[in-house]
Amino acid sequence: MNIDVVEIQRILPHRHPFLLIDRVVALSPKVSIEAYKNVTIGEPIFQGHFPGHPIYPGVMILEGMAQAGGVLAFKSMDMTEAEAANKVVYFMSIDGAKFRAPVKPGDKLVYRMNVVKQKGAIWVLEGKAFVDEKLVSEAQLKAMIVEK
């Protein structure tokens, strides 16, 4: 399954500069998703993080994981496009977040999310982020789909 940024924007409410996934390359409903973001020097975050030594912030990596997880959750539920338009995914918790290596402009940041547990509107996901198949970050995320 290949989902481009236009379709991602139909699923998620996020927009530039806070839409943090560019494409979904694999999705197995209720099981897993793989998505990526191309990190570029033109992103506003690099104006201050850090001048002369640009590093993509860990909190942005976690948000990218959450957005990929949101796409997985929405694509896993039996909803019409109109029903989905009235819902949003909220973070409930982030556990065990670890940052293993810096992410820099020019990197392709790949998110791999797996469902640990899902009950009703609550989703628990294991997330890992990679650059060139090297693990750069990991965390367990809990989220809930709610009415806007």
Q: Percent of the chain at pLDDT above 90?
A: 88
Residue 30: pLDDT band (50, 70, 90) is: very high
The H or E element that residue 82 is part of is: helix 81-85
pLDDT of residue 96: 98
Q: Which of 14, 16, 49, 53 is catalytic?
A: 49
Q: Which domains does the chain have, with CATH numbers?
A: 5-147 (3.10.129.10)
**What is the pTM assigned to this prediction?**
0.96
More confident residue, 85 or 2: 2
Is residue 110 within 8 Å of residue 128, measured between CB atoms? no
* Tokens encoding 5: 């940024």
Residue 57: pLDDT band (50, 70, 90) is: very high
Q: What is the mean pLDDT of residues 2-25?
A: 95
Residue 82: pLDDT band (50, 70, 90) is: confident
Is residue 21 within 8 Å of residue 64, measured between CB atoms? yes
* 53 catalytic residue (yes or no): no
